[in-house]
Chain A
Amino acid sequence: MTQTRFLAIVAAVVLPAAALATPPDAEAAKRGSKAYGRYCISCHGTSGDGRGPSADWIDPKPRILTSGTFKFRSTPSGELPTDDDLLRTITNGLNHTYMPTWRALTELERKDLVQYVKTLSPRFASEPQGKPVAIPPRPSFTKELTAKGKDVWNKVQCASCHGDGGKGDGGSASTLRDDWGNPIIPRDFTSGPLKVGDEPEDLYRAFQTGLNGTPMPSFAESITPDESWALVAYVRSLRKD
């Protein structure tokens, strides 16, 4: 009886999630495996474990695709990315990393790669992909908004990692590790774009979603959308380049 009840609870929790999962398109994934073997394998490895022959020599390390944990998403913290999130990363590459832009590949190949990447983690077969967080229209970045953003910066203690001036030299910066134990450096907001892009919306999205697999949390529960935009205004004011 106890076992039956347990199974029923598991079924109630797991089965709906599995039912809502969007597993990879098998035909597209099969094609995408050819593109993966050609373009991705030297960093991400044959199985997607991030241990390709180039991996030892590059920093930051290649994404471990088998984990289903992705930094750059439009979905809430802890959730799987959408297909469009994966496609955006493949297409644009990631600034300050060794992930190049693949926009010159045909759209067919890039979309097939998305489907193949989804086969590398069992999460995509058992969990639904997240829904993109809403991003309200961008306000004008006034001095008042920037000043308000500094208050938010202090409220959520951004400086503990990113430093008072946003250079990525906060007190705890040297102690930070990602989920796999690799040292990770907080973003230096004073120069260059984010890895994922240089639009204010990219910052807003990062505040809302966090970066899965890293110490950067989501602030979706602790700051309002208005505060989030104010924080964007303040962080962008730190840019010196």
Chain B
Amino acid sequence: MMVRCLRTAAVLSILFASTRAEAIPAFARKYGVSCSTCHSAWPILNQVGQNFRDNGYQFGLGKDDPVTLSNAYVPLAIRATGAYQYTKVTNQLVDDGAGGSKNVDVKTGGVPTPGADFLLAGTVARNLSYLVVAAGFTDDEPAAIESAWARVSNIAGSSWLNVRVGKFELDLPASSHRGVSLLADYAVYGATNAGIGFNLGENQTGVEIDGHNANSGTRYSVSIVSPNEDPGSSGAWSSPTFYGHLQQAFDLSNTVLPWARVGVFGAQGQLPTVFETSGGEPVPGTGTKLKTFKRAGADLTAIFGYPATPFLVNATYVYGKDDEALGGDPGNSFQGGFVEVNWVPISELEYDATPWLVFARYDAVKYKTGPGDVSGVTVGVRRYLALGPRASMALHVEFHQDKTKGASEDPDGNPLDVTTQAAMVGLDFAF
């Protein structure tokens, strides 16, 4: 039952994903370029944006160092989304008023207080870059530092050696913080067969070494981090988790399949299972008897059609297994992934050249044993009302539905599936 509850919590967290970060109009202002320089459709990075990011927020043409800028330039961006949201969650167990319980569907709707992301990002000097993201600022989600890191780029003059330290997002097949969906995270990132808190999509604290070739067609990233929700073990590096990702792109330069990229990635971490206690409570940092959890996967990204109006497909597969000593059914594991499509159908000779984005995603997670299997669909449209060199605003319409196997139970304790439906329409704004 405990595992079921933990999985339910993980699944429900895919709803109303917290405000998304890392679309940074301050860069457009710094370089005088349009958002579409770096984004296929904001917030999705294109290869130019990926290359700019891989270079430590630098184009490398003598305009990166802030000493070359007007004193009036402030490397600050803000993003907020105001939206009407509706949610329906089935088979929730509630009191029946007669001492028992019953199952009901819970429906909510309204305009929640918009959260906001404040992003400071840029370079302090050539090859020295940083990002600080403060997010939240609502009653339900207090302000917190979502991300904060500093990076030394092009060590020894080589783009193959860059080091980042702080709290950052792992180099994932699809960014959890730059996804276009405002309703649902990637379900497989948070999947666990032991109920541990580790989530690939959450920002992690640690060190990353990464590198890339001139156009970021070949790139790698290796990290050692203390994972999110880390209960803390004793040792030189608390609960070390290693992550690596290698990608290779192919410039096919035809009008049907002009570009494709394949990648492999994996993570292996350790969490403690035995703690010293104080008043019966575990003392963080005293954990011992570390047990292992693993994730491994592959990703394929391809552009169909003309790259300036891409039909962008990302398919990602993940296999995961948590040691049974961490919880859950003996011998259990999971596999899953997602297929995501982002389509920019139009590019015109107008200043808002790419006014539409159509997106869709299918998520799936399947456990070897027990409940928690997830299947979900997300579809949406963004109409860019402004997409210029200073700021951007989009009308965002999205629908999401997922079904989680055995995530609830009836009054007799029999497992019930939970279906969640969510819809939103609102204005997504970045300056």
Contacts and interface: CB of A to CB of B under 8 A. Distances in A.
A57 interface: yes
Contact of A38 (B36, B50, B215, B259): B36
B351 A34 contact: no
Contacts of A58: 32
Nearest to A92: B61
A192 B62 CA distance: 8
A141 interface: no
Residue from A34, A46, A58, A107 having most chain B Cβ neighbours under 10 A: A34
A63 B337 CA distance: 46
B369 interface: no
B9 interface: no
Interface in A91-126: 93-109
Nearest to A192: B62
Interface in B202-255: 214-216, 251-255
A235 interface: no
B61 A37 contact: no
Contacts of A36: 349
Contacts of B255: 31, 108
B288 interface: no
B70 to A, nearest CB: 9
B59 A100 contact: yes
B285 interface: no
B353 interface: yes
A137 B348 CA distance: 45
A46 B350 CA distance: 6
A37 B32 contact: no
A174 interface: no
B312 to A, nearest CB: 13
Q: Which 6 A-B pairs have the closest CB atoms?
A: A37-B353, A42-B34, A34-B347, A108-B253, A104-B51, A104-B47
25 contacts: A31-B306, A33-B349, A35-B306, A35-B347, A38-B354, A39-B34, A41-B349, A41-B350, A42-B34, A42-B37, A93-B61, A96-B62, A98-B63, A100-B31, A100-B37, A102-B48, A103-B215, A104-B51, A105-B47, A105-B48, A106-B252, A106-B307, A107-B253, A108-B251, A108-B307
Given A43-B33, A53-B389, 8 more contacts: A34-B308, A34-B347, A37-B349, A53-B388, A97-B61, A104-B48, A104-B51, A109-B258
Interface of B: 31-34, 36-37, 46-48, 50-51, 59-63, 214-216, 251-255, 258-259, 306-309, 347-351, 353-354, 388-389
